[in-house]
Structure 1
Amino acid sequence: MIKRELYMSRIRPFIGTDLIKVMTGIRRCGKSVMLKLIQQELTETGISSTQFISINFEDMCYSHLLSAQALNDEIVKRAKEIGGKVYLFFDEIQEVKDWEKCINSLRVSLDCDIYITGSNAKLLSGELATYLGGRYVEFVLYPFSFGEFIELYRSVKPDASNQQCFQEYLLAGGMPYLANLHYADAPSKQYLHDLFNSVQLKDIVKRNKIRDIDLLERIIAYVIANVGTTFSATSLAKFLKNEHRTVAPETILNYIKYCCDAYLFYQVKREDLQGKQVLSSNEKYYIADHGIREAIFGGNMREINLTLENIVYLELLRRGYEVTVGRMGDKEIDFVCSRRGEKLYVQVTYLLASEETVSHEFGVYDAIRDNFPKYVVSLDEFDMSRNGINHRNIRDFLLSDKWK
């Protein structure tokens, strides 16, 4: 079990407090394991596991607890039997109807420390803001980073070099369970395909009561095929019209939002760096795990530039950056990253194979006069840094503890 210290270091300061710890992210990205890691950490500080109450609401054993009242009654009863402070771990809490009422009631009525997970970004919106406003902290979890992937991949293939590990990562992605399949190609693709179907059915179709599943599938296929490419809802509507499906751009935007709420896609807005404003159209989308894209659509190696972009984008999110696509005149910077007053610019390309490519990738920074770090990231093995702009091999960039 990988420690996932990146997340533990953020959660640790809140352990034992009365704030509700909420972990969200795409289905099967490791949220259940995080609950186990927290339990492990608690036992290491001397807390007995008899104080833990842990429920996974996807387990049919707990189907009788899928209402707020039933869950509340059960937990209050078990807490009395245990006595003293209890530690509550609720996995996939969104399966419980009106769960926020129950959680708030437990927070008020018991001496407890509460941890919950869910697979939907809307978990913390609407009603919940009323019940728990200011009383929770949220942590978004992502599939394995390249660094985490190496650790697990080498438990299967100990002699693999960083280069070999990255070659596998490009195709397999970072879903934790693949290690149990020893990263075998056919079983891994089957697993990722089934995972994708589960996200689509449970977290998108069922949750949002979508009737036109064919339309949803077409929209998802289009976004997956165009990961990292700027497009608008209007252009997608025209594409669908050519396929004899007439649909309003507003419907398309709603369907894509449902996918983002399920953490299947991430929307990246475009920012005018001269006017310092966020542009309202032609966003980009990236997929939560590029391995899913390979299993569903293929083409990760054929369109390796987009795959590398996707990998770098997710790494920026993992490290807590807010990310936009930057526009400066007629030039576009892949990622403009902000975090607590820090700023970072990242341009991603496959190879700096010609002087024209070098000129383009480094040239996007010509008009930016600030002193924040600027990177060009590629698969090249040689350092081509110039004019104060850092060039990094993508493997080294992803494994670096700190970007300067």
Structure 2
Amino acid sequence: MEKRIIKAIIAERQKEIRKVQLIERPIQFEENMNYVLVGIRRAGKSYQMYQDIQNRIKTGKAEIEDCLYINFEDERIALLEASELGLLLECYSEMFGNRKPLIYLDEIQNIVGWEKFARRLADSKYRVFITGSNASMLSRDIATTLGGRYIVREIFPFSFAEYLSYRGLELKKNWEYDPDQRVQVVRLFDSYFHFGGFAETFLLQDKREWINSLYQKILLGDIIARNEIRNGGAIRLLSKKLAESVMQPTTQTRLLHIVKSSGSNVSRNTLADYLAYMDDAYLTFSIPNFTDTVAERASSRKRYYYDNGLLNNFLFDGEAKLLENMVAIHLIKCYQKLEEDGVFFYNKGVEVDFYVPDKAMAIQVSYSIDDPMTREREVRALRKMSEVFPIRKGIIVTRDEEQTIFGESLDIEVIPVWKWLLRAE
């Protein structure tokens, strides 16, 4: 790799980062810690790096020349290997002398073996930010290599609260009792509900076109190309069927039958790999049944998309699916740590959409409970579950309805999703 190319990239990025217009996000970093930021493409990982750099410049803690930023998706360094990563420091030193740079390495998962270089930087007391769009960066092997020298954070697309802030709506205390603010929240929620939290779509007229382009990038680049999948048609069909199956527990056996019925000859192991690749690329995620055994949890799960805009890309008149998907995203963002103490669904005699054991919280999702039979079904499931587990909080998340359903065993709060999202934060 020619040093002049690396030097040109360093200089270009320093110039560009100062000019980037940022949407500030309330994400805080410890002053002397190193970070690995992971999450779906375009969620804002790179912008978190830019925000850190710009804030340091504004507060006088650094100058732009102190920052060494490299994006490993730059085609000019596409052939760079792990053994050549030391050239980054050599080039910086030749450009700026004995300064010790702040190091920002974007989409570094493209370099096989990157983690040893990252560990060496931490051992040498550099402050380092790393981003990646693949959940394999959270693997135990990589965590062992990094040796506790980095804090890992998952970056999600904008929350509803962040979206409101972007749109210029700053909520007052007790905003829900202010008719004007309440109307504004409801009005703005509709776009967020259907098109999700990717900031680059917020001002676009044709949001679907941008979201579809992102989906194709994730599917073709992060899933098919990265994993050298030859049967692209099978994984396209699988992603479509997963979208259509949101809200329902889905077994690998059923998915295998669907894919094979289309003429694709895939094995059970290949199907399991495809599902793992989709999760690794932060396209989809899944939650298990709380009552299943460890072996059963691997085969039967409820599956969701990481953003409503991506899910809506597949749907026609899919309001109920979008509602449950949005609740699922928020729950894993708030409560998912390790699978054994994170977010589940419950299916044993009755089905409850979400269960968070650590919070003793059970949640049903229903677009509307205006129909008496629907209301009775949702309430009965929560109360039956509370007879088995110590449920302290029973919730039914709806699109717009709000009330409290009192009962001897459990009071149930019915709350609109837009209010629940803002309160939960």
TM superposition score normalised by structure 1: 0.86
Q: 1:21 to 1:241 in 2, by over 3 A?
A: same
Aligned residue number for residue 16 of structure 1: 32
1:381 aligns with 2:398: no
Secondary structure (helix, strand or coil) at the match of 2:400 reads: coil
1:45 shift after superposition: 4.4
Q: Residues 266-289 of structure 1, C-alpha deviation per residue, up to 9 Å, x if partnerless?
A: 01111119x999744320100011
Distance in 2 separating the partners of 1:276 and 1:362: 29
Show the counterpart of 1:303.
Answer: 318
Matching residue's letter, 2:346 = G
Match runs of 1:2-401 below 5 Å:
2-5=23-26, 8-9=27-28, 12-13=29-30, 15-17=31-33, 20-49=34-63, 50-63=65-78, 66-79=80-93, 81-109=96-124, 111-125=125-139, 127-154=141-168, 161-179=184-202, 182-184=203-205, 187-272=206-291, 279-295=297-313, 297-299=314-316, 302-321=317-336, 322-327=342-347, 329-338=348-357, 341-367=358-384, 368-369=386-387, 370-387=390-407, 388-401=411-424
C-alpha distance in 2 between matches for 1:317 and 1:283: 15
Measured against aligned partners, the alpha-carbon deviations of 1:62-94 in whole angstroms (never above 9, x if no partner) come to: 446x22232212224425735354211111111
Q: For 1:157-212, what per-residue CA distance to the aligned partner results, in whole angstroms no more than 9, with x for missing partners?
A: xx982122121122211111112xx231xx31111111101001111011111111
Secondary structure of the residue aligned to 2:290 is strand
Deviation digits for residues 124-159 of structure 1 (CA, Å, limit 9, x no counterpart): 33652442132222111111212222223458xxx9
CA 254–401 in structure 1, closer or farther in 2 if over 3 Å, else same: closer
Partner letter of residue 98 of structure 2? G
Unaligned runs of 5+ in 1: none
Q: 1:42 to 1:342 in 2, by over 3 A?
A: farther
Distance 1:37 1:324, change over 3 A: same
2:58 and 2:405 map into 1 onto residues whose CA distance is: 46
CA 1:401–1:170: 2 relative to 1, 3 Å: closer
Shift of 1:28: 0.8
User: For 1:90 and 1:139, how far apart are their aligned partners in 2?
Assistant: 15
Are the counterparts in 1 of residues 354 and 363 from structure 2 also a CA contact under 8 Å? yes
Cα distance in 2 for residues equivalent to 1:141 and 1:56:
17
The CA distance in 2 between the partners of 1:335 and 1:41, in whole Å, is 39
Counterpart CA distance in 2 for 1:106 and 1:371 is 47
Letter in 2 for 1:379: R
What number of residue pairs does the alignment pair up?
Answer: 380
Separation in 2, partners of 1:352, 1:126: 44
Q: 1:231 to 1:75 in 2, by over 3 A?
A: same
Could you say if the C-alpha distance between residues 3 and 201 of structure 1 is closer, same or farther in structure 2, counting changes exceeding 3 Å? same
Structure 2's unaligned 5+ residue stretches are 1-21, 170-180, 337-341
